[in-house]
């Protein structure tokens, strides 16, 4: 009887110790290989070496899946002294939707089923801003229609995001440069964030995203336009793969009427500070206290 209990005790103790060892090794971030792979931490909690490994693994997986070997996945960090902000000139937007399709072209959204990160709302001039009366499916021969104005809406990268606090697994958070990002390898797909977002800015991969190989943008960021899996949430990330290298987002560059403005809010000489000083900016649904970084204004 005592022999049996000794065996049982040793078994339990050794099992417990090895489990603890494994967990602590993983938690400390050292690349212990199989243990980390088994326990799968969030990307941001991993060691630099392990992160490099994962990026390479992702690139290899894309190679296999899409048949392209030029796809790169980067994890470019936020630039120092940078806080992004966006300006949208409502007196200029004509509702042409080139921003919508340019965004899709740039950020590898699923084509079938269709996902679009920017939604352009057509509103009536004699009614003003009123979401309940807006129409996103307008399809006239020509825009702008004389009695309408257009309000494009995408992720507002709020300073007090309603979405990040409700995520049950910390799969989404705000980066130091203001961009709210999603870790697609950690997202559960519970859609709490979609419920919490007041701007309808988050979109879900209801099935395996489908995109033609030749349409893929190979220059990707792990928290931005990387090719997403089934069952996770995605949204605008201010073209994180471009803006962290200093480039304008795709929507800013394609807008034919120059209605979109982007820049570093901390740069006093920059476009964003100028426009906030000279034009009267406002934000959508300000009563919700989300404090967006996306400012609407009328230049004239």
Which 260-289 positions form the footprint of other proteins (CB under 8 A)?
A: 261-264, 267, 270-271, 274-275, 278-279, 288-289
For residue 196, the SS3 value is helix
Residue 293, Cβ neighbours under 10 Å: how many? 23
Length of the chain: 300
**CB of residue 215 to other proteins, shortest distance in Å:** 6
Residue 22 lies near other proteins (rule: CB under 8 A): no
**CB nearer other proteins, residue 53 or residue 253:** 253
Residue 227 lies near other proteins (rule: CB under 8 A): no
**CB nearer other proteins, residue 2 or residue 246:** 246
Residue 1 lies near other proteins (rule: CB under 8 A): no
Listed ranges 1-9, 58-66, 69-77, 200-208: which one lies at the site for other proteins (CB under 8 A): 200-208
80 φ, ψ to 5°? -70, 145
Residues 6+ apart with CB under 8 A from 51: 43, 75
Measured distance CA(164)–CA(180) in Å, rounded: 8
Q: Residue count at the site for other proteins (CB under 8 A)?
A: 102
**CB of residue 282 to other proteins, shortest distance in Å:** 16
Q: How far is it between the farthest Cα atoms of the chain?
A: 92
Q: Would the CA dihedral through 161, 221, 152, 136 be positive or negative?
A: negative
Confirm if 116 and 58 have CB atoms less than 8 A apart: no
Residue 204 lies near other proteins (rule: CB under 8 A): yes
For residue 115, the SS3 value is coil
Measured distance CA(66)–CA(111) in Å, rounded: 14
**CB of residue 195 to other proteins, shortest distance in Å:** 6
Measured distance CA(136)–CA(119) in Å, rounded: 7
Which member of 43, 66, 149, 199 binds other proteins (CB under 8 A)? 199
Listed ranges 8-16, 28-36, 55-63, 138-146: which one lies at the site for other proteins (CB under 8 A): 138-146
- Show the site string, 142-181: x = touches other proteins by CB under 8 A, - = not: xxx--------x--------x--xxxxxx-----------
**CB nearer other proteins, residue 33 or residue 81:** 81
């Amino acid at each position: 009887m005592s022999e049996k209990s000794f065996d049982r005790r040793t078994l339990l103790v050794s099992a417990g110790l090895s489990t603890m060892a494994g967990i602590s090794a993983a938690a400390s971030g050292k690349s212990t290989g199989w243990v980390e792979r088994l326990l799968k931490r969030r990307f941001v909690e991993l060691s630099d070496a392990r992160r490099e490994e994962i990026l390479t693994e992702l690139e290899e997986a894309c190679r296999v899946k899409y048949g392209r070997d030029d796809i790169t996945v980067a994890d470019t960090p936020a630039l120092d002294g940078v806080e992004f902000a966006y300006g949208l000139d409502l007196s200029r937007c004509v509702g042409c939707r080139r921003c919508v399709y340019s965004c899709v072209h740039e950020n590898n959204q699923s084509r079938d089923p269709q996902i679009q990160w920017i939604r352009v709302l057509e509103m009536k001039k004699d009614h003003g801003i009123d979401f309940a009366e807006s129409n996103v499916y307008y399809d006239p021969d020509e825009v702008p229609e004389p009695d309408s104005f257009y309000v494009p809406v995408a992720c507002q990268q709020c300073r007090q995001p309603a979405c990040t606090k409700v995520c049950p697994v910390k799969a989404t958070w705000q980066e130091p440069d203001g961009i709210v990002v999603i870790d697609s390898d950690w997202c559960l797909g519970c859609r709490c964030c979609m419920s919490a977002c007041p701007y309808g800015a988050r979109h879900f991969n209801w099935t395996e995203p489908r995109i033609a190989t030749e349409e893929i943008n190979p220059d990707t960021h792990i928290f931005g336009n990387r090719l997403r899996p089934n069952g996770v949430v995605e949204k605008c990330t201010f073209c994180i793969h471009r803006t962290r290298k200093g480039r304008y987002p795709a929507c800013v560059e394609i807008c034919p009427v120059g209605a979109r403005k982007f820049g570093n809010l901390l740069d006093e000489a920059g476009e964003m500070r100028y426009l906030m000083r000279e034009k009267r900016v406002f934000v959508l649904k300000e009563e919700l206290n989300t404090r967006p970084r996306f400012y609407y204004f009328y230049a004239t």
